Structure 1
């Protein structure tokens, strides 16, 4: 699919724009501007009132003012480092223009004595005299029209000035072709949106501060375009995954019944619903691409195992992948007993498997003797071959991108893909990151999970906390003690954990306290964890390595030191490590006073609710989307105009529009489909165009 010729001028080199040389082009790249089209969406974020005033006397300094003046005498500096001053007179007042490090000949030229000029800049009063230091604009009166009454202010970076961006943006706008409309006519009329080119022009020529609101028709239209293009790309990715026709994997239910009959409890309604949704997807001829979202302790592992059994019952194999070895081993531990109930062979494959042992596993896998494999990303390696892979389950999705999902799916020519996450995701983020997937939500806890009592305690009460801990350990209870993240240095984290470990060991006795941190060799880490799981040690001092997935039912106390330094989602995950057994559980959030407003709000939200979805919504409201999933590796789209958190409703509209369009016109061959292709090119979603042409 080649780019439409209509768009060529917007894809030319930046240096083809007036006023942009090689140096400026390089500087603009730091703003994400590489082609003229990128300038169209580099929108001003605020503006300056440059409306003409008769005199500086009419304003209250310090403020920006634009007046016509007659230039008076020049006073060059008497010594180095002193300013150069020029006297000017407006209709009612004489004041000074002040310049530092300026060349006299340049200023004589710019401001010839006796002539009229329009000056605009910030006026301040210094020693009773009004001054304008380095005016933003000095224009001849006949060129006054060049200065807009309300001047847009653009985002800048080193080596880029307002003047340069404004001029380059104007140059890019002059190249905008007349494009056919891609927004549905009914939607556009209902919302009262302008045409695309008019929306761009309006966004670059604000008339007042009100024009920067995301609710203005121009900005809303451009935000919708971004959401729409992004959702189209996700829907096309989903369609291409679907088109890779799946296999129909129909379970007999025999193995599932064996497991359910042996369990001491019943599935929750949410678990039953999720198992039914997944089974129906697996039985369908198209490939499953589903997200299983469940809060801490909602019973995702059991749902995942039921899905793996469907694959085995259908005569195939299943694989479950985790991001780290500790987690892979956790899954193994959680599934071993279930697999035994079903009489299914389950094995673990990680980067640690070497030589003959690895060779044996690979042979058993290729010949179908291993029915369920649990592993780390080691299962991506070329020599790992399945006899008949029907289902791939990926845990902790946000560590795997769309590309890896596809790669894993490719292992089984048509394997169904189920992704699990223990991080509840607010709806707007779910739309943005997983718009290509169907979602099953586990929104109730299995019976028997007790609420965790959460309290805020100041670090000044450290001795009391240690005393309580001694008491609890005496009663045979187990506890986690999570140490704060110190700076961004693993060495310091290690030091703080080490110091706390020594302190608690002195207080509670030898052999009672174990230590786990990121700097330890994996084998020592595993040994310390294993000792804690087995109940040999009673208190585990740790940095956040225990955040996800560790399961020790007997642990009923969680102390989080300097809790205010952690994010909400992280605190929620940590708290989820307790409350898994029959004992009443407690989580102590230790903070150092005084708390910042944000820190206090985070800890109170956590104290007041255990609902992960509410916590995630709060977290999103407080931190923003990029931080929430760590934008670098989240594969979250970087929108230039759209605001994912504040415009969720608009994103939902864009998603349903995108899905409807592709349902009616999957190859984008209609007139509107062709118009949409222009949008995809403009917004760098050419991946989407390749996905269509592949199909």
Structure 2
């Protein structure tokens, strides 16, 4: 696709080409990511000031902004240094004062001659019963009243930029915005009553009332949709290209996978069996696989991953599984190794810890094809890591890996198939934003033998009751976790709280019954304390959130979470997932400190109502927002300027359907609407998409 269309040149020029923006302002704007007229257009007002004309300041209750016509009566220069300059004026009903600090008298006399009529607009306040307007925003000749916007937009500002500069800049950016051919589906526009792109911008930068600022305003929905459509178009193009990219057909024989499934103590769930089939079909196909495997706590993703890896080993290839941290990589390795042994397959772990000869030996075995499955951290991206025949890459916890890293991994082997796994149930709108280029498999059943967990809310005042409940349970041979309060800022405070709780429970329940783990312990001590609990030597494990991920103790059937109101929904859901792994009925007690805020109450009630991780994630999204939910810095989430995926999830869905359907009809974007679609991609800076369309 040659270059940026000429119609868009002005919008992609320097931001200084706009009125009101000099080199200094341009520098400040650049820090906020605003470098060209297009970015100014995409910065929408978030508030507005009503500047409609009033008869008199007497008609309002200060403090409030008023626009009024006045006659200048008298000037009162300051009597002493540092005092304000005052000008007495009269409107249709009353006298009031205009107040100026550090003002030049000659300038004010020229602007506001005694006896002259002027229109002034600014904030009116009352001091000792006298109305004052300090530094009016506007002082104009009466006939220029039309140049004051009736409903003036207020822009999100960065230090050192005035509203006036933003107002001027947005007006001149609007003047540069061309009329563009329509890329949206005409039936959608008609159904939603949306204006054309340029008209939508004009409406939003000059709102007529408060409705013009709301998310539901047709013009705002239109622009949000454009942003999401460009994003989904990019993902759809990437998906199409990946699907067309020649892969390697890896046809499994079933020899190894059957051996492992036979050795399992239980039969796979229906969801797992479905996942095996979908993945096997993708692997056997000559196109590349690009699939997301989403599963809730304990839905059995490890088995699905292993079956996929063994399938490519059966076909004569190698597989790699990657995790974001060394702990998780080791955990995967520990989980996979015994099963791989059943199949007689060689599996190894490669992390940053491997050095010198040991590392060299692993790399040689990998290059020779002697290692069938490699588990590691992103250390497997390094240039000296060569595979004999890499067919499948499995990435765990994808939101730590961006799309670019996915591609780098794909380059490691000849047409590598990619499977991404996530244990965090992701709401649909977020999944579309992050993984719209992938096919999705959801594990929505729990393996047999997992019992539902009964969740109850208890106030901290009932601590004694909870402890006696624990005594009974321990006497019945059961085990429990006791999670201590989360302290945001300080692990030391967390540790002290945990040690305190440990001493109290030990006093109540007896020596040798209670164990302790927290983040400040040396790893060996932590592992030893965990091992004693796993072996059933200790009955209660007092812990900070270090147990959130990956501990499997089927006999533990009670989870007490202290100060549950301080935890996030997803975290509480993950913690609760540590119990209910055996055949005993399990309970989770959410202990809270009364009174609860409305949000805290809602959070805890959601957990009581449902164990469905996806439902919980949807609620979490609407309560917290996308960036918080997955940690914006490493989320790989696109940053939208106008669209709000928490509050406009439906638009994301429509955009995905439209993008995929349009590409089916016009894969080369050659039709008139396809050409308009290219304009949209350039406008929204979807450079990746433009490369994907290739030369057109």
TM-score, normalised on structure 1? 0.94
| Alignment partners' CA distance in 2, 1:672 and 1:565 | 51
Q: CA deviation at 1:84?
A: 3.2
The aligned length equals: 695
Query: Is this contact kept in 2: 1:71–1:116, CA < 8 A?
Result: yes
* Partner SS state of residue 54, structure 2: coil
Structure 2 partner of 1:639: 640
Query: Is this contact kept in 2: 1:456–1:589, CA < 8 A?
Result: yes
Superposed CA offset, 1:132-162 (max 9, x none): 2332222222322210111111111211111
| Alignment partners' CA distance in 2, 1:529 and 1:229 | 49
Structure 1 partner of 2:73: 72
- Structure 2: give runs of 5+ residues left out of the alignment: none
Q: CA deviation at 1:191?
A: 3.1
Superposed CA offset, 1:171-226 (max 9, x none): 11111133222223343334333221111111111111122233333212111110
Structure 2 partner of 1:92: 93
Does the C-alpha gap of structure 1 residues 545 and 378 become closer, same or farther in structure 2, counting only changes over 3 Å?
A: farther
Does the C-alpha gap of structure 1 residues 125 and 167 become closer, same or farther in structure 2, counting only changes over 3 Å?
A: same
- Structure 1: give runs of 5+ residues left out of the alignment: none
Q: CA deviation at 1:473?
A: 4.1
* Partner SS state of residue 411, structure 1: coil
Query: Is this contact kept in 1: 2:20–2:166, CA < 8 A?
Result: no
| Alignment partners' CA distance in 1, 2:67 and 2:690 | 49
Q: Is residue 629 from structure 1 mapped to residue 630 from structure 2 by the alignment?
A: yes
Superposed CA offset, 1:279-333 (max 9, x none): 1111111111111111112222222222122112212122222222222232223
Structure 1 partner of 2:331: 330
Query: Is this contact kept in 1: 2:4–2:682, CA < 8 A?
Result: yes
Structure 1 partner of 2:322: 321
Q: Is residue 239 from structure 1 mapped to residue 240 from structure 2 by the alignment?
A: yes
Q: CA deviation at 1:471?
A: 4.7
Structure 1 partner of 2:221: 220
Structure 2 partner of 1:613: 614
* Partner SS state of residue 139, structure 2: strand
Q: CA deviation at 1:504?
A: 4.3
Q: Is residue 427 from structure 1 mapped to residue 437 from structure 2 by the alignment?
A: no
Does the C-alpha gap of structure 1 residues 495 and 690 become closer, same or farther in structure 2, counting only changes over 3 Å?
A: farther
Query: Is this contact kept in 1: 2:400–2:636, CA < 8 A?
Result: no
Q: CA deviation at 1:491?
A: 4.0
| Alignment partners' CA distance in 2, 1:287 and 1:632 | 30
| Alignment partners' CA distance in 2, 1:494 and 1:21 | 54
Does the C-alpha gap of structure 1 residues 680 and 492 become closer, same or farther in structure 2, counting only changes over 3 Å?
A: farther
Query: Is this contact kept in 2: 1:224–1:654, CA < 8 A?
Result: yes
Q: CA deviation at 1:509?
A: 5.2
Query: Is this contact kept in 2: 1:95–1:129, CA < 8 A?
Result: yes
Q: What's the C-alpha RMSD, in Å, of the aligned pairs?
A: 2.4
1:583-598 pair list within 5 angstroms: 583-598=584-599
* Partner SS state of residue 661, structure 1: helix
Q: Is residue 127 from structure 1 mapped to residue 93 from structure 2 by the alignment?
A: no
| Alignment partners' CA distance in 1, 2:357 and 2:511 | 40
Does the C-alpha gap of structure 1 residues 603 and 105 become closer, same or farther in structure 2, counting only changes over 3 Å?
A: farther
Q: Is residue 576 from structure 1 mapped to residue 577 from structure 2 by the alignment?
A: yes
Query: Is this contact kept in 2: 1:317–1:386, CA < 8 A?
Result: yes
Structure 2 partner of 1:379: 380
| Alignment partners' CA distance in 1, 2:336 and 2:321 | 11
Query: Is this contact kept in 1: 2:73–2:114, CA < 8 A?
Result: yes
Query: Is this contact kept in 2: 1:486–1:496, CA < 8 A?
Result: no
| Alignment partners' CA distance in 1, 2:320 and 2:305 | 10
Does the C-alpha gap of structure 1 residues 292 and 444 become closer, same or farther in structure 2, counting only changes over 3 Å?
A: same
| Alignment partners' CA distance in 2, 1:149 and 1:122 | 15
Structure 2 partner of 1:392: 393
Q: CA deviation at 1:169?
A: 0.8
TM-score, normalised on structure 2? 0.94
Does the C-alpha gap of structure 1 residues 524 and 678 become closer, same or farther in structure 2, counting only changes over 3 Å?
A: farther
* Partner SS state of residue 411, structure 2: helix
| Alignment partners' CA distance in 2, 1:504 and 1:321 | 40
Structure 2 partner of 1:150: 151
* Partner SS state of residue 439, structure 1: strand
Structure 1 partner of 2:51: 50
Query: Is this contact kept in 2: 1:326–1:526, CA < 8 A?
Result: no
Does the C-alpha gap of structure 1 residues 106 and 589 become closer, same or farther in structure 2, counting only changes over 3 Å?
A: farther
Structure 1 partner of 2:558: 557
| Alignment partners' CA distance in 1, 2:514 and 2:246 | 54
